[in-house]
Amino acid sequence: MSAVHASMLLRAGLLSAGVAVAMLPHQASAQQMDHSKMHMPTPVEKPAPVKKAVHRKPSAKSKPKPAPVMDHSAMGHDMPMPTPPAPSEPMAHSTIPGMSMTPTEPITPIPVLTDADRAAAVPPAHDHPVHDNSIQSYVAFDRLEVWNADKGTGMEWEGQSWIGTDLNRLWLRSEGERVDGRTHSADLEVLYGHSISPWWDVVTGIRHDFKPGASQDFAAIGVMGLAPYKFEVAATAYIGQSGQTSARIEVEYETLLTNRLILQPLVEVNLYGKDDARRGMGSGLSTVEAGLRLRYEFTRQFAPYIGVVYERAFGDTADLRDNASDTRFVAGFRIWF
């Protein structure tokens, strides 16, 4: 190829390259879109990234500085709680803002407890006696009442008292009846009581009958206490000097109509082992007395009451009496101290 031909080919190539380069901007502008005519949503500005607090392990020579407090209001969100270090590493409390940790060791060392300290903490024994071993006493008249009888005004009493501790007590019990100024029946019991449970006592002792008839003595043994459903029970058996035997069972219950108004039903049963005509007692079931009394407690120690009492004799006892049954209205008061 001659030099003339080569020069012509070079010029033609350069001219083609120039034309191609010149056409490139026009193609790019033709492919661009007119974004001004398009309604695109405004992109939401992303919040600034949260800078995590760097927990540095305190060195032995320098004390770690507290991390700067970050302005959460400017950031628009709450900073998450920093992750505590592993249990094997000591926790740098000063690097956790807002947290207060109790030190494992007291600031002031606790002295060793000595025998003198223990003795000073316990008062002398004589200043605090055991309460269940202290001597207490109690006197009560459950019934002091009067009524109108065919033969005149009647009066009846029933009372008891004790002195001792919660486990061992000396009991005194008495009941009797007077009509028109004459004593028809009266007795007195002296008993030793021992507690066998929180609610029951076993009693044993003697009973002396003043009336009816000539006086006589009995050996007594029985139980007293609070049965289930709060029934107060006293059951006693007696053995007399001449072989006479008897038993007395008394059950009463208190129903609180109000804190001060109390309704008290009561049942008393008497039994005898053999006839005793001089005292008007027959063998077997002798008498049953049922009463209903309503009292008002002005104080716990003093309470007047009214009531009705029905008494009936059975068997040989009914044959020895003029009237086998009797109903009377009573009024009286109950006291204790």
Closest Cα to residue 234, out of 313, 280, 171? 171
Alpha helices in 45-188 (DSSP H): 72-75, 115-121
The 3-state secondary structure of 122-172, one letter per residue = CCCHHHCCCHHHCCEEEEEEEEEEEEEECCEEEEEEEEEEEEECCCEEEEE
Characterize 163-196 residue by residue with b for buried, 16 or more Cβ atoms within 10 angstroms of its Cβ, and e for exposed: ebeeeebebebbbbbbbeeeeebbbebebebebe
Higher pLDDT, 74 or 117: 117
pLDDT tens-digit readout, 93-134? 444 555 555 556 667 888 888 888 888 887 666 555 555 578
CB 202 within 8 Å of CB 189: no
Report pLDDT for 277.
Answer: 84
Tens digit of pLDDT for each residue in 45-73? 555 555 554 445 555 444 555 555 565 55
232-256 pLDDT, tens digit per residue, is 999 999 999 878 899 999 999 999 9
Nearest to 252 by CA among 237, 234, 236: 234
Beta bridge partners of 304: 333
Q: Closest by alpha carbon to 283, among 300, 293, 270?
A: 270
What angle (nearest 5°) sits at the alpha carbon of residue 164, between those of residues 159 and 168? 100
The percent of residues in the chain predicted with pLDDT above 70, rounded, is 65
Which pair of tokens denotes residue 86? 């592993």
Structure token digits, residue 104: 């494992």
Domains of the chain, by residue range, sit at: 133-336
Is the domain defined by 133-336 classed in CATH 2.40.160.40? yes
